[in-house]
Structure 1
Amino acid sequence: MFALVTEKAYQQHRPHFDALDREGHGLRWLRLSDGGQLHGPADACPEVAWLSSDLFFGGILDRFFEIAEGAPDFRWLQSAAAGVDLDGYQRLMDRGARICNAHLTAIPIAEFVLRAVLDEFQAAGRWRVAQAEGRWEHHNFREVWRSRWLVIGLGAIGAETAHRARAFEAHVTGVRRHPAGDEPVDEMISPAEIPNALPDTDVVVLAAPATPETENLVDDGFLSAMKPGSVLVNIARGKLVDDEALLRALDGDRLAAAILDVFNAEPLDPAHPYWTHPKVVLTPHSSGGGIGRWDRGAELFCDNLRRLLAGEPLVNEVTSMQLPADLPFVTGKKRQ
């Protein structure tokens, strides 16, 4: 069996691949270089592949999908991403290939959220400016302790964020269509109850997938219901936010800040007002950049490959008809 991986991932995680080879599965590795060249027998076609994290930044993602789609016996793809909204995934599924996603970035994204909220609450920028200017200047700041958080979407990312916020003794309310009963929150509400929760919430975290039901979830009505001085954090998808509505809200005196890692169009236009707005903290879709995700991804790929070869159930398998369990369907939002 031929397995497609990037040269970078193969070299970085060589011990994992060597372990698979020693187990005698008969695997042969096709390695895709940074320049898009495929190293292996000229007539080799992969049956399985690992879409590792480096592919999202190296400029050869289309080439990777082209190779997988061109293989007549291709049957399984392990992705390093949680979302499966790229066209390449659907094309492979339409051909009968199995797809598994991953939640490798939940830990760094949750850490990013806590760091960003602490930075905002503590007005840490004032200390940095004072240090640069050589001024010894004291200021008071807000505490996360006993603040109230609303986490919309309690998949892997939302759950990790809630868990960490509660470690700071924040009160966390979660939103999920179908609660499992073991969510790491203080209380659960239904999506229809979101408007009632907003006036008492200090931090709103968007962690839901982008779907027709969540598009422009954060609109004028949503923002006008938020608590004065509250903070909005979006680490989900830009489509959840009506940009014009958010800018109007930020120009007023209701919101303290918007922490935005994702946007409707990426890269963000250099002329976009988010870049210079005094209440916007902007990062380039980088909240998931924790380096621990690389090892977690290699371990998941190898574990699932063993499962595939043994005919066992796969971890995180998705289908073209599957909707995420943490999709908040907000009453009144219509499909476009």
Structure 2
Amino acid sequence: MADIVVRRDNIHGMAVDRYATALRDRLPNHDVEVARTPAAERDLVADATVLTGSSVSEDLLDAADSLRLFASTYAGYDHLPLDELAAHDVALTTASGVHAPNVAEHVVGAWLSFARGFFTARRRQADHVWQSFKSNDFAGSRVCVLGMGAIGSAIVDRLDGFDVETVAVRHSPEKDTPTDEVYGYDDVHEAVEDARYVALACPLTAETRGLVDDDLLTTMHPETVLVNVARGPVVDTDALVDALQRNHVGAAALDVTDPEPLPSDHRLWDFENVLVTPHNAGHTPSYFDRLADIVAENVRRAEETGAWDGLQNQISL
């Protein structure tokens, strides 16, 4: 029987077999199997030490007598049965950081595209119109990143060499932060006040839900390019639409929306200065390889220490 079981969760159109292959390459002394049906899943999990996938049910946990680790393939974990995992003494790890390089590229690419007028150029190209247009410099700008987890940190890392002033907003502003300035969420207005480029990369919490509201959008400069790769409800959608209509914000690149998926008749689709992508910033062909690196390292760590604790991306239960 397999000691590592991979649930049948294809991600971003990539077959989960790639994930199993990546785990086998990194853990050649372990038996890695893909559970391709619900029946096979219950059968395989009975003797498994590690189960990995996007979710796990209480019933499956009840059937997993030897399970020591559930390695989630998602960065978020609020959808998981945390109490049941704790009751079964099953450790939990996440895929935090797997998306960071490509999401950071998405953010910087959106900022540069709006700064240099690529969307204007594309529309005129479609109409076969040769006409000059104004564009802006990204260099010399004040750039603000809300949230300094793996994604926020990766965004700031990629700003090296662009000659911009960097500002961070984080829950614990006293922590060492690789930006020119850092603020807490209580001082978010001061952080965005003169920023021309703002990225939302924070988790959705009671503190951040509706954070970007009419009040904060009014504080932002009317040329600000706002990018949301956090969660849709971090932004008050009606307030954003109103700000766009009144030219109180320069542009928005939304990889997440509220509601999501964005209805086909929603007003956000029709603004020329809005880029909507279908929660796609997280896509990367390296997803399974990066995830397998985390899981394999945690398996090796547990083998060395004899304990399923102190693991990379482990969530305290």
For structure 1, list consecutive stretches of 5 or more residues without a partner in the other structure.
56-60, 321-336
Structure 1 residues 293-319: Cα deviation after superposition (integer angstroms, max 9, x where no partner): 221111111111111222263111112
Residue 325 of structure 1 corresponds to which residue in structure 2? none
Q: State how far apart, in whole Å, the 1-side matches of 2:189 and 2:78 are.
A: 28
**Is 1:81 matched up with 2:74?**
yes
Partner SS state of residue 209, structure 1: coil
**Is 1:29 matched up with 2:26?**
no
Residue 3 of structure 2 corresponds to which residue in structure 1? 2
Cα contact 1:2–1:28 (8 A) shared by 2: yes
Inter-CA distance 43–133: structure 2 relative to 1 (3 Å threshold): closer
RMSD: 2.6
Structure 1 residues 27-66: Cα deviation after superposition (integer angstroms, max 9, x where no partner): 4334122x65627956834331122xxx5xxxxx57x775
Q: State how far apart, in whole Å, the 1-side matches of 2:172 and 2:43 are.
A: 48
Residue 38 of structure 1 corresponds to which residue in structure 2? 40
Residue 21 of structure 2 corresponds to which residue in structure 1? 14
Cα contact 1:29–1:40 (8 A) shared by 2: no
Residue 90 of structure 2 corresponds to which residue in structure 1? 97
Q: CA deviation at 1:13?
A: 4.9
- 2:40 aligned partner, one-letter code: L
Count how many residue pairs are aligned between Structure 1 and Structure 2. 306
Partner SS state of residue 165, structure 1: coil
Residue 48 of structure 1 corresponds to which residue in structure 2? 50
Residue 316 of structure 1 corresponds to which residue in structure 2? 313
Inter-CA distance 86–134: structure 2 relative to 1 (3 Å threshold): same
Residue 166 of structure 2 corresponds to which residue in structure 1? 172
Partner SS state of residue 250, structure 2: strand
**Is 1:194 matched up with 2:188?**
yes
The two structures have a TM-score, normalised by structure 2, of 0.86
Partner SS state of residue 105, structure 2: helix
Question: Of 145, 167, 181, which residue of structure 1 is paired with 2:139?
Answer: 145
Q: State how far apart, in whole Å, the 1-side matches of 2:160 and 2:262 are.
A: 32
Identity %: 30
Structure 1 residues 269-313: Cα deviation after superposition (integer angstroms, max 9, x where no partner): 223222223332111111111222221111111111111222263
The two structures have a TM-score, normalised by structure 1, of 0.82
Inter-CA distance 37–145: structure 2 relative to 1 (3 Å threshold): farther
Q: CA deviation at 1:147?
A: 0.8
Q: CA deviation at 1:245?
A: 1.3
Structure 1 residues 139-167: Cα deviation after superposition (integer angstroms, max 9, x where no partner): 23111101111111111100111121243
Q: State how far apart, in whole Å, the 2-side matches of 1:272 and 1:210 are.
A: 23
Q: State how far apart, in whole Å, the 2-side matches of 1:87 and 1:15 are.
A: 24
- 1:84 aligned partner, one-letter code: Y
Cα contact 1:30–1:39 (8 A) shared by 2: no
Cα contact 2:23–2:32 (8 A) shared by 1: no
